[in-house]
Structure 1
Amino acid sequence: MNINGIILVAGEGTRLRPLTYTLPKPLIPIMGNPLVTRIIEGLMSNGINNIYVVVGHLGFLFRQLLGDGSSLGVSIRYSEQRERLGIAHAIHRAIEDGADGELIVHLGDNYFGEGLGRFIREFREGDYDVYVVLTRHKDPTRFGNAIIQDGRIVKLIEKPREPPPNSLVMTGIYMFRDSKDVERAFSTIKPSARGEYEITDLIQWFIDNGKKVGYSVTNSWWKDMGTPQDILDLLYLMLDEVKPRIEGEVRGEVNGRVVIERGAVVEGRVHGPAYIGRGSVIGKDTVIEHYVDIESGVVINGGSLSRSLVLSEASLDLGRARLVDSIIGPKSVVKLSSGVVRLVIGEGNTIESA
């Protein structure tokens, strides 16, 4: 049977504006690698080389970055979801465009600390028709909820106002043994009150029709990149696992677990965990504190940064200011004189304080 990966990246990322006006969530890099590329590498390492990417908002940017997948060692085809009609509809679009057989569906803004290997293995070994990955979350109302009785999922509820007791939430990976069953299920569901074909309704069809629906609870962290804080939380989790590597030039001081890529120059101080991307320059009066990711071609003079992500080719002149809990869009210019400042800005913005 054919095996296809499906990565869903058609969303507009409205809660991440202004960043997502020009940069879709899955293309936001962390430590030099966009999330969508990390997902493709995870699928490839589990033997999934045929991948459909379902695009919508700014879809041409995915085509520019990924092309036909040959540079990553996979085959990529694109499906288009022109309207926001939900996850189930996006899967349906990929099937319409040729994704058949076994499907491993991954949301493009989700990331799993433990990787995908265990989930895919348990799905196949259990001979399930559908397999989902669940977790506990402090705000279950943001996600689909699974009600479990006697070790089985008996009901799925999309974003409940009142979550059921001890509920587990659905993460962004769904596995189906046969695309034909997915199409049968899709043909029976109708748009929800918010106008979307919900993944919970699609999988509920399998439950109601006696199909074998399995699940796992992830035993590590899971992040859904819905908000700026979610992106920063993912950055912190990934930096927690970083191994030190210095390929650039250190003229100043580096402490702890720090990655300095080739072509980067550090004249100031960097305290790990931290990442300094290719060709970036950290000026002699600058202090990079813990949990900072500086992407490629960034220039920073003065000030200090903590718990922040600075995207490619930004320019920061911080004076005596301290930038905290911030995301600075690519090619932006920030000029500050003093104080503790938090910013979330999109591409090409200019911020100047008096």
Structure 2
Amino acid sequence: MKALVLAGGTGSRLKPFTHTGAKQLLPIANRPVLFYALDSLAAAGIREVGVVVGAYGRDVRELVGDGADFGLRITYLRQSRPLGIAHAVRIAHDFLGDEDFLLYLGDNYLQQGLTGLVRRSAADPAAARLLLTPVEDPSAFGVAEVDAEGNVLRVEEKPDAPRSTLALIGVYAFSPAVHEAVRAITPSARGELEITHAVQWMVDQGLRVRAETTIGPWRDTGSPEDMLEVNRHVLDRMEGRIEGKVDARSALVGRVRVAEGAVVRGSRIVGPVIIGAGAVVSNSRVGPYTSIGEDCRVEDSAVEYSVLLRGAQVEGASRIEASLIGRGAVVAPAPRLPQAHRLVIGDHSKVYLTP
């Protein structure tokens, strides 16, 4: 079985971060989200992977390479514009050939992995097999209606009146029948070829479409809130390890990972926390559930339940929590101006001011 991983898309909910990079490369516990998908594919025994890339394809290639570090052989497929998941399947036809394949959205995090799904797909063949999870607001997702035997009766994309609470989570096992389906459908109102329309076409043709439900940790890391929650899940499973320098005035409590080249001085770190190579934490309190990226600086500050991307600097912040701080960003005390705030804010940024 081959796999097709989507690593393009615009990531509109993660602006301004996605103005300068692919959302699949944003870090979870200091590793790109995409890496966890590739790890899961390799663990499931898949070796041939097609990665669909868009505007930031060069960045993805530089980080992922030929896939050898993951035990994979990767072929890159260029999607000129984000025209939908089914369109990605269309352009990947030559790579996929007439084989069964797994489709995985590269910004998804699925803690349980893919081994069980791959095994069951081989043992019980179907035209398509969908991975679902119950959600509180199904109108924000693709939704599947499933009978008592696990057969899919209907799928809809973000319906106003959902027929169930079971959302598609972006993991599918397909037979070659999907290629006829994606050729048969037309663009939706938003101008995309929807994979839900292709699945519904297969259902309408009388093909066997099966569903599996997972209640394990899953997130579409398409928003800052989801990024922080996935970071929490990953850090919860992390083991502590000290490879960098921690001075005698510092206290490390619980599972803390300090990468080689990182420095902790006069600070209290309460895990789970990961501190990347080249980062310096001094006279600060950090954690829990915080990831500090490579070459970051945290001085005279308190940071908790946050993600700092590479090169970010936090200085003199009495308390930062539930925050996502971008590459090379600087957080520092403002001048004491009476009744005024001085701001330099990029496009689509959000700033929350206390009275």
Residue number in structure 1 paired with 2:154? 155
Equivalent residue pairs, number = 339
Residue number in structure 1 paired with 2:6? 8
Residue number in structure 2 paired with 1:308? 306
Distance (whole Å) between structure 1 residues aligned to residue 323 and residue 212 of structure 2: 34
Identical residues among aligned pairs (%): 36
Deviation at 1:302, TM superposition (A): 0.7
Bigger strand share: 1
Distance (whole Å) between structure 1 residues aligned to residue 31 and residue 134 of structure 2: 27
Residue among 53, 56, 61 paired with 2:54: 56
Deviation at 1:144, TM superposition (A): 0.5
State how 1:71-150 maps to structure 2 within 5 Å: 71-97=69-95, 99-150=97-148
Deviation at 1:281, TM superposition (A): 1.0
RMSD (CA atoms): 2.3
Distance (whole Å) between structure 2 residues aligned to residue 265 and residue 315 of structure 1: 14
State how 1:26-65 maps to structure 2 within 5 Å: 26-65=24-63
Distance (whole Å) between structure 1 residues aligned to residue 204 and residue 162 of structure 2: 21
* Residues 71-121 of structure 1 deviation map (CA, whole Å, 9 limit, x = unaligned): 433211111111221111111111145554111110011011111111111
Distance (whole Å) between structure 1 residues aligned to residue 43 and residue 179 of structure 2: 28
- 3-state secondary structure, aligned to 1:123: helix
Deviation at 1:337, TM superposition (A): 6.0
Distance (whole Å) between structure 1 residues aligned to residue 188 and residue 160 of structure 2: 15
Residue number in structure 2 paired with 1:218? 214
Deviation at 1:270, TM superposition (A): 0.4
Residue 209, structure 1, aligned to residue 208, structure 2: no
State how 1:181-220 maps to structure 2 within 5 Å: 181-220=177-216
Q: Match of 1:161, as an amino acid?
A: D
Deviation at 1:149, TM superposition (A): 2.1
Residue among 320, 323, 327 paired with 1:326: 323
Q: Residues 336 and 99 of structure 1: is their aligned pair in 2 closer, same or farther, counting only changes over 3 Å?
A: farther
Distance (whole Å) between structure 2 residues aligned to residue 99 and residue 293 of structure 1: 41
* Residues 6-37 of structure 1 deviation map (CA, whole Å, 9 limit, x = unaligned): 11111010110001111211101222311112
Q: Which runs of 5+ in 1 are unaligned?
A: 339-344
- 3-state secondary structure, aligned to 1:61: helix
* Residues 31-55 of structure 1 deviation map (CA, whole Å, 9 limit, x = unaligned): 2311112211211122211111111
* Residues 300-323 of structure 1 deviation map (CA, whole Å, 9 limit, x = unaligned): 111100110001122221x25211
- 3-state secondary structure, aligned to 2:239: coil
Distance (whole Å) between structure 1 residues aligned to residue 317 and residue 9 of structure 2: 39
Distance (whole Å) between structure 1 residues aligned to residue 148 and residue 28 of structure 2: 40
Asked whether the 8 Å contact 1:4–1:99 carries over to 2, the reply is no
Residue among 332, 335, 338 paired with 1:335: 332
Asked whether the 8 Å contact 1:260–1:277 carries over to 2, the reply is yes
Residue number in structure 1 paired with 2:342? none
Q: Match of 1:335, as an amino acid?
A: A
Q: Match of 1:22, as an amino acid?
A: T
Residue number in structure 1 paired with 2:281? 282
Residue number in structure 2 paired with 1:298? 296
Distance (whole Å) between structure 1 residues aligned to residue 66 and residue 222 of structure 2: 27
Deviation at 1:69, TM superposition (A): 2.0
Residue number in structure 2 paired with 1:234? 230
Q: Which runs of 5+ in 2 are unaligned?
A: 336-344
* Residues 334-354 of structure 1 deviation map (CA, whole Å, 9 limit, x = unaligned): 21269xxxxxx989x9x9x9x
Asked whether the 8 Å contact 1:320–1:337 carries over to 2, the reply is no
Q: Match of 1:105, as an amino acid?
A: L
Deviation at 1:57, TM superposition (A): 2.5
* Residues 107-138 of structure 1 deviation map (CA, whole Å, 9 limit, x = unaligned): 01101111111111111111222111000112
Deviation at 1:282, TM superposition (A): 0.7
Give the alignment's TM-score, normalised by structure 1.
Answer: 0.90
Give the alignment's TM-score, normalised by structure 2.
Answer: 0.90
- 3-state secondary structure, aligned to 2:180: helix
Distance (whole Å) between structure 1 residues aligned to residue 81 and residue 132 of structure 2: 27
Residue number in structure 1 paired with 2:252? 254
Moved more, 304-313 or 239-248: 239-248
Distance (whole Å) between structure 2 residues aligned to residue 346 and residue 281 of structure 1: 26
